[in-house]
Amino acid sequence: METLPQIISKNAWEDPEKTAIVFQQRGKPDDVISYRTLYRCALRYGKVLQENAIRSDEVVIIVLQHCQDLIYSFFGAMFTGAIPSIMPFLTEKLSPEHYRKSLRSLFEVIEPAAVITYTEFESEIQQAAKESSVRKILIAEQIALQDLELQEAPGLHRSPQSIVLLQHSSGTTGLQKGVALSHQAVMKQLEAYQRAIHLSQPDVIVSWLPLYHDMGLIAGFLMPILLKVPLVLMSPFDWVRSPVLLMRAIHQYHGTLTWLPNFAYNFCAQKIRPSDLDGIDLSSMRAVINCSEPMMQSSHEMFINRFRPYGLKDNALATCYAMAENVFAVSQDGIEKPVTLDWIDRKKLLVEKIAQPAPQGDDAICMVSAGKPIENTQVRILSDEGKELPERVIGEIALLSDCMLTEYYKRPDLTQKAFLDGWYLTGDLGYLAKGEVYITGRKKDLIIVGGKNIYPQDIERVANEVEGVYPGRVVAFGVFDEVMGTEEVVLIAETEEPDVQRRQDIADKICYHVNRSSDIVLRKAIIVDRGWLLKTSSGKIARSANREKYLREFQGALSTEASTDR
């Protein structure tokens, strides 16, 4: 099996002028990067790393904006035999102190040999790297000016079983948990996923996703480049400021595939103005794939209703269950048939943890299928005791595949805990129905109230049904009540409703709706303004961080009645 640098090298020799990436930056002409350019610029970074005595198997941390040098440095590290790992860049939304602390923790565990960053960020890295393994901080602006290439690339002689890259689990903490992936694992994933989505060279992938997250790194970057499928790549920061850029890129380059986290469906549907879509044609799209966070049918409906007039086909909506530990995809739906919707009894789900089919109505919840496992991946649902559960019983999702992580890098303790008899324990909760995977929540987010297990995603799903709640912007967690001697459920929901009384009504309706649908008592439904909730680096609601924010801002200031942030 070929390694990643070998494939990049081969593509450059066989099709040197073929477009690998169309790189878009707002306000600048599109930069068309050929395989020859990609290869030569990567070799330039490889040469600099080699001259600075960075050896095979050493980790190179990349802290750069979404730019061409991020691409070249990533592959350059591979050519020198090092292991690249892309980190989120510090933005105005992140606390510098918290960011520095996370980097310091990362350096302690990962023990990188080098960091590639900008001049303006060098002092930040120096502070985080004090008394660490980092031997060299390399400045991207200086490397970009050099005209040299790596003549002998050690990375071309690495074995398929060797580690090619580290992905880091998203979150506000815990960056030190690095997912180590081999060349072989990456290529086996791409081979299986290529068949699952019927990917071929006439396709055009369009992506705005960050490269420090598995969905952006694998589906929206490595897969098209390695399989010689044209890629149109834009900055996530540009997309957030102007989401219509995605639609314009699809129109201009006849895009056929893109991946979106669920929130992006709502964001695009609500933020793109009709005047911005004049002349836009989305009919080339054959799959818009929902992945990375809980999938909601209401978001799909909002998205398709908004963009159907511009040629988007109803059957273009697709779904995927993925994780870095499996390189990317676990399952896929919506390619060969419409995405399956499973209407289940709300109370059975919340109380008995059974996904019992139910007719559509007030007492039913619509679950969106993530599809059947891709061909090289098996899925089981396990009980707390590790026993396999029957269909429609909710438990922990376990995986077995030929593209699994090698290890949590330098964390044998975490690696050992993650496996049971060779099966990887995902920590995700879900069920199987007719062979298709449905995700219901995360095991670690469990709330225990009076001895009863409560899964916050179940409550959040019900609260999202209340009119006035901003779709997908809800979080539930447990807070210990010393008087009652147990945890109490707290729910926070964002709204764009400015009226104080209307906000109180929304809070009351959430409590009523949740209490009616389960045997728990929700006393606190807190309504906050848009933007209050904190998200992880990959765009997911950060449950633990929002719990901490709640304790700082609200604890002690609220009664046990449903409350609003006024």
Helix (H/G/I), strand (E/B), else coil: 101: helix
Q: Percent of the chain beyond pLDDT 70?
A: 92
- Beta strand 257-260 pairing with 231-234: unpaired
Torsion of CA 493, 499, 501, 507, to 10 degrees: -10
Q: Which residue has the higher pLDDT, 448 or 421?
A: 421
Distance (Å, whole) CA 312 – CA 306? 9
Report the run of H or E that residue 71 belongs to, with start and end.
Answer: helix 68-79
pLDDT per position as a tens digit, 283-329: 999 999 999 877 889 889 999 999 999 999 999 999 999 999 999 99
Beta strands in 513-560 (DSSP E): 524-529
The answer as to CATH 3.40.50.1460 being correct for domain 446-553 is: no
Q: Do domains 34-176 and 336-444 have the same CATH topology?
A: no
Distance (Å, whole) CA 442 – CA 440? 7
Residues in the chain, how many? 566
- Which tokens sit at 412? 């044998």
Name the β-bridge partners of 33: 21
Question: What predicted TM-score, i.e. pTM, was given to this entire model?
Answer: 0.84
Residues 72, 39: contact at Cβ < 8 Å?
A: no
CATH number, domain 336-444, options 1.20.1050.140, 3.90.1150.110, 3.30.428.10, 2.30.38.10: 2.30.38.10
If we measure between CA atoms, which residue out of 396, 379, 509 comes closest to residue 444? 396
- Stretch 204-222: mean pLDDT, rounded? 95
pLDDT per position as a tens digit, 405-429: 999 999 999 999 999 999 999 999 9
Residue 176 has pLDDT above 80, yes or no: no
Mean pLDDT of the chain: 90
pLDDT bucket at 143, cuts 50 / 70 / 90: confident
Residues 265, 295: contact at Cβ < 8 Å?
A: no
Report the run of H or E that residue 341 belongs to, with start and end.
Answer: strand 341-345
Name the β-bridge partners of 478: 489
pLDDT bucket at 65, cuts 50 / 70 / 90: very high
Distance (Å, whole) CA 3 – CA 359? 50
- Stretch 179-199: mean pLDDT, rounded? 98
Distance (Å, whole) CA 550 – CA 543? 10
Domain boundaries, the chain: 34-176, 336-444, 446-553
Residues 304, 289: contact at Cβ < 8 Å?
A: no
Beta strands in 496-543 (DSSP E): 524-529
- Stretch 375-381: mean pLDDT, rounded? 97
Cα maximum dimension of the chain: 72
Per-residue pLDDT at 487:
75
φ and ψ at 34, to 5 degrees? Answer: -80, 170
Q: Read out DSSP for 440-474?
A: EEEGGG-EEETTEEE-HHHHHHHHTTSTTSPTT-E
Sign of CA dihedral 249, 250, 252, 256: positive
Per-residue pLDDT at 557:
43
Distance (Å, whole) CA 61 – CA 133? 12
Distance (Å, whole) CA 391 – CA 538? 31
pLDDT bucket at 483, cuts 50 / 70 / 90: low
If we measure between CA atoms, which residue out of 93, 169, 106 comes closest to residue 535? 93
Name the β-bridge partners of 491: 476, 525
- Beta strand 423-433 pairing with 395-401: antiparallel
- Stretch 401-406: mean pLDDT, rounded? 97
CATH class of 34-176: alpha beta
- Which tokens sit at 74? 């990533």
pLDDT per position as a tens digit, 34-46: 999 999 999 999 9
If we measure between CA atoms, which residue out of 522, 529, 518 comes closest to residue 562? 522
- Beta strand 419-420 pairing with 423-433: antiparallel
Residues 514, 463: contact at Cβ < 8 Å?
A: yes
Q: Is 271 left (phi over 0), alpha (psi -120 to 50) or beta?
A: alpha
Sign of CA dihedral 440, 442, 443, 446: negative
Name the β-bridge partners of 207: 233
